Amino acid sequence: MKKILALAVNKFEDIELLGFVDVVKRHGVLFDIAFGVDTEFVTSQIGHEIKVKKTFKDVMDKLDEYDGVFLPGGSGFDDLAKAEGIENILKHFVDNNKVVGAICAAPIILAKFGFLQGKNAIVHPGEDLKQLLIDNGAILANYEAPKGIGASWEVVIDGNIITGLSMRTTIKYADEYVKLLRNK
């Protein structure tokens, strides 16, 4: 059975984290959520309090148990990028060719650490975020849906890395993440 690790901090986007883990669970994928904070609770972007059961420190020596990693966006994505241990956790998944996923603003984290260098990716359509992706070596996906293909551009897969557009595409993104996970 496949198992993934979702990583978050305060001000994570509710739908992106909770919707994602809901969908992957419905696909029969196991998951853990680890938070990059040393507090009893984290607060989501819209104010929901979530009890912290695992931290980055708790999972650091158990990364081999996971087949993939996922980063939600939200206004706390900068704090997630600065959380102690995040780069080493992500590096483990990249180096071991496991599934690495990020949605909305979170692909910026992958780009800043160099994991999107020369890779096709998508990010929330804010001009500043698109530019950050490009400035960090990613190939920005086309934001216009190709004729006859629908909105496939909302989820971009390049090798073992999967990026998604925004919270409104969370369910489609999670479905595609699981497909990629199962093909690994």
Encoded tokens for 1: 């059975």
pLDDT tens-digit profile of 59-79?
Answer: 999 999 999 999 999 999 999
Which residue shows structure tokens 């086309």?
142
Identify the pLDDT of residue 155.
93
Evaluate if residue 152 carries a pLDDT over 90. Answer: no
Q: Which ranges in the chain belong to alpha helices (H)?
A: 14, 20-26, 56-59, 77-82, 86-95, 107-112, 127-135, 170-182
Contacts 24+ apart (CB under 8 A), 52-55: none
The band of 144, judged by pLDDT with boundaries at 50, 70 and 90, is low
Decide if pLDDT at 148 tops 80.
Answer: no
Assign 153 a pLDDT band (cuts: 50, 70, 90). confident
Q: What is the mean pLDDT of the chain?
A: 94
Instruction: Say if residue 151's pLDDT is above 70.
Output: no
For range 21-42, the mean pLDDT:
96
Give me Rg for the CA atoms of the chain.
Answer: 15
Say if residue 87 is exposed, middle or buried (CB neighbours under 10 Å; 0-12, 13-18, 19+): middle
Which pLDDT does position 146 carry in this prediction? 55
135, with CB counted inside 10 A (0-12, 13-18, 19+), is: exposed
**Residues 97, 164: Cα–Cα separation, whole Å:** 19
Supply the pLDDT for residue 141: 86
Closest to 128 (Cα-Cα) out of 109, 105, 111, 144: 105
- pTM beyond 0.85: the answer is yes
Element (H, E) at 163: strand 161-164
> Domain 3-182: what homologous superfamily?
Class I glutamine amidotransferase (GATase) domain (3.40.50.880)
Q: What angle do CA 58, 183, 181 make, to 5 degrees?
A: 30
Domain ranges for the chain, please list them: 3-182
Band (12; pLDDT cuts 50, 70, 90): very high
* More confident: 148 or 168: 168
pLDDT of residue 149: 45
